[in-house]
Every structure is written in C-alpha cells, then in structure tokens.
Amino acid sequence: MAYDLHMHSTASDGTDAPGDLARLVKDAGLSGFALTDHDTTAGLAEAAAAAKRLRVTFVPGIELSADPGSVAPSADDDTPRTGTLHLLGYHVRHDDAGLAGLGERLRATRAKRNPEVVRKLQSLGVKIAYEDVLDAAGVPEHAWGDDDAIDATGVIVGRSHIAQVLIAKGYVRSVHEAFAKYIGFGGAAHTRKDRLSAEEAIDAIHTAGGAAVLAHPVQLRLPGDLLEHAVARLADMGLDGIETRHSDHAPADTERFADYARRFGLITTGGSDYHGTRKHVALGSVNCTAEQADTLAQTAARYAS
C-alpha cells in the first residue's frame, strides 16, 4: 500500500504522458500516486481518467515555484538565497482559476529566463541555440520565435530541456552535472526566475481546495538553523506539511524533517520526484504509506468548498 506523491509528466518537464503514469504506477506495484507538474494542472484530468480505468488511487497536485527570499529570517536579511523553494499542492481542483493564473504568471517569467540562460551559455563558448531547447521540449517548429505561439501549445519549457541539449551535445554527462556546472544555483549560466511569494503560493493552493506541502527541503540549501526558521515561517503562513522522504534526502535529512513536522504540527509526505528518462530516479523508489496518504486527504478536505 505504497504511494508515490511526487511525479511529473510531459505537461511540464517529465517524459511520460499524464495518461501513461497510472499504468506505470500499477506495474510498479504501487497503490496510488500524485501528479505534481511544475506550475500547471494541465495533465490532471488525463491522469485521473487513466487512474480510474486501472483502479489506481490518484491525487491531483501541482508544484509551485516560490521566492526563497520570502522565508528569509527578516525583511532586511541579506543572506544570499541560493536554493529553490517549491510548494506542493495536493487534492487541488484541476480547473481552479487562481492556479491557472499563477501558472501563466510563472510560465511568463520562465519564458524570459530560459533565453537568458542560453545567452549566458553561448558567452561561455557553449554551442547551443534556443531552438535546440524548444525542439527538446517538443515545441512544434511552427511556434518557434513566437512566445504567444509557444504558450498556446501548452508545452512548458524548462531548465531540464536545456540540460537535455547539453547532454546531447556532449558538454555534460548527466542532468545533475548540467545543473551543477551550468544552469543550477552557483552554475556559470544560472539565472533566477522566482517571483511568487511563499504566502501567495500557499494561499492559492488552499483556495484551490488543496493541502500545501514543502517539497524537498534540502533544496533550499540553508544551514540547519536557517532552514528550521524557514519551516517555522512557512508553518505560520499556513503550510500543512513537509516532504520528509525524497530522492535527494539522506536518512539523516528524513529524520530531521520528521522532527520539524512534529515540532511545527505538520503532516509528512514522500515521493520520488519521478521525471521519466529525464532523471535517474525510478518511479516509486521513494514513497509514503497509505496512512500518510489518508492523512493528506483529510487535511486537504478542510479546504474543499
């Protein structure tokens, strides 16, 4: 009775169609899963229909990118924000207008960020064109050169697609290396895009009928005392849970985050962060129990209207 509550599809930056995930989940021996694509709910209806046919429990979700500076210790704190702050929304309505609006806003900032990353790579001598990235993302050639046309395709272009091109051209050997060397925080071509505050993201998830959970806390890249403070601030903003189990977490991380959950009254979840062939993380390799999934559903029910 295991559930993988962190998975991505082609609706954002995964390589499996939303409708294929239920079969993969069932074949892996799991009881259920959540689709948590980045900044979009576009794949939820398709995934839900497939899960119903195969009698697999489905949790509709989303993963929103927020500004890590919004959980800084104080308004005048100048500690560099080098990590990512992602908030998972579970049991959200797939047609919620508020989430759709946030998705459009975040896609717009990403659309401005991606070409800048490519320009930085080019300045470093990396022979890459933005058209290569669009092709890797599956954007039809007729839409290239027109931001509105790209947006109309519904394809979300992200850094993982840039990483895919870097691998194909032989500049790196893995997605991890691409992020570490070039496009991740501290990388030579990194460009920030965060614009959404944590409180906005949590409120939007609640308004959409969902429970808000902090994704992969280690990716905030904060020392212990500051990370604890960030979780406390998020709890004050209405955070419901924390993803204690994740493919980036060592056993000690899982124990520490479980302690945070007990101290701040948060529920716990877990998932692999599966992206298909784009990342070397197996579906269901990290999961959570049916009891945790039930607690998550009960928590989200408080926001249903």
Is residue 12 within 8 Å of residue 39, measured between CB atoms? yes
- Per-domain boundaries in the chain: 2-104+193-301, 112-183
Q: In the structure encoding, which two tokens stand for residue 37, read together?
A: 């694509």
Highest mean pLDDT among 109-123, 151-165, 181-195, 265-279: 265-279
pLDDT at position 75 is: 47
Residues 6+ apart with CB under 8 A from 117: 159, 162, 183, 189, 190, 191
Query: What's the Cα-to-Cα distance from 32 to each of 43, 268, 297, rounded to whole Å?
Result: 16, 16, 13
| DSSP, res 73 | S
Tell me if the domain spanning 2-104+193-301 has CATH number 3.30.565.10.
Answer: no
Percentage of the chain exceeding pLDDT 70: 96
Which residue has better confidence, 166 or 139?
166
pLDDT band at residue 82 under the 50/70/90 scheme: low
* CATH architecture for segment(s) 112-183: Orthogonal Bundle (1.10)
Is residue 134 within 8 Å of residue 140, measured between CB atoms? no
